[in-house]
Structure 1
Amino acid sequence: MAVTEKQLKANRENAKKGGVKTLEGKALVRLNALKHGLLSCEVLLARESAETLAELEVKLIAELRPQGELEIILVDRIVSNIWRLKRALMVERQTMEWEYTQAIAGNPDPFADLLPSLPQESEEQTERRAYRNMIASDYTEKIMRYEAAIERQIYKAVHELIRLQMARGGAKPPAPAAIDIDTPHEG
């Protein structure tokens, strides 16, 4: 596509202006060449909103103000993990709703037919069992472990970003809080 003389003149005038001046503006345009960050595009699923992910990224870049490649990578990790955590929470809710629906829909104990002499469950008992099944489901437990792992990754990236920014600002960052809980097995 050919550039018109008018567009060329406008481009030259804009180039003389020197670009974005504020830190917020620089944070917003700094990654213009990247559609959704270094890692964020890898976390987006087909039915998820690229716009919502981009909004999250822009907000966190403006808030965290990364400078340099390592800080940019850490912010992108934070964005990716927050996105994954939101997805995990949605899956957890859907799983728990499904578990509850299955219990209420009359999918009770598979051995109920073997014990016909037992009295029928009251509606309240069915409700309690449904909630218990919903919370104690293997799927729900796995999702909750996954959420906890994602949260640890977010906190780790945030702490490292803070340490880097403190060091860049001339402050002495605190030592990382790492605790070795691996104990040798004595046999």
Structure 2
Amino acid sequence: MASMRQLLAARANGARSRGPKTPEGKRRSSLNAMRHGLLAKCIVLSNETPADFQQLVAFHEERFGPLDPVEFGMIEEMAASYWRLRRAWAIENQLL
């Protein structure tokens, strides 16, 4: 357990902290807790190519031909799920 002196020092240090200032610093700090990206909110991670994901969506769109926004949303969900599954497979292969 931390002493009262440590608690006060931590509180004082925290009050001086202002966080990242630049857009690049903010982007980097937003990824601080990321380990593998399997539960990431964004679909395409910084080490992946957005154009590759868009190509995957276009492939699914051409293959299934959605007729309305609901069907197109389902196509996007399918592509995102496949994208994340490929990421999981890559991580699994690195572990083996």
Coarse TM-score class (shorter-chain normalised): 0.5 to 0.7
**CA spacing shift, 1:42–1:67, aligned 2, 3 Å:** farther
Runs of 4 or more above 4 Å deviation: none
Number of residue pairs matched by the alignment: 56
Is structure 2 residue 73 aligned with structure 1 residue 73?
yes
> After superposition, what is the alpha-carbon deviation per residue over 1:132-154, rounded to whole angstroms, capped at 9, x for unaligned?
xxxxxxxxxxxxxxxxxxxxxxx
Matched with 2:49 is 49
| Correspondence list, 1:1-187, <5 A | 42-96=42-96
**Letter paired with 2:93:** R
TM-superposed CA distance for 1:89, in Å, is 0.3
TM-score normalised by the chain length of structure 1: 0.29
TM-superposed CA distance for 1:67, in Å, is 1.3
TM-superposed CA distance for 1:43, in Å, is 0.7
**Letter paired with 1:71:** E
Aligned identity (percent) is 21
State the distance in 1 between where 2:60 and 2:51 align: 14
Matched with 1:149 is none
State the distance in 2 between where 1:50 and 1:64 align: 21
TM-superposed CA distance for 1:92, in Å, is 0.3
If you compute each CA radius of gyration, which structure gives the higher value, 1 or 2? 1
Q: Which runs of 5+ in 1 are unaligned?
A: 1-40, 97-187
State the distance in 1 between where 2:58 and 2:70 align: 17
TM-score normalised by the chain length of structure 2: 0.55
State the distance in 1 between where 2:52 and 2:92 align: 20
Q: Which runs of 5+ in 2 are unaligned?
A: 1-40
**Letter paired with 1:51:** A
State the distance in 1 between where 2:72 and 2:42 align: 16
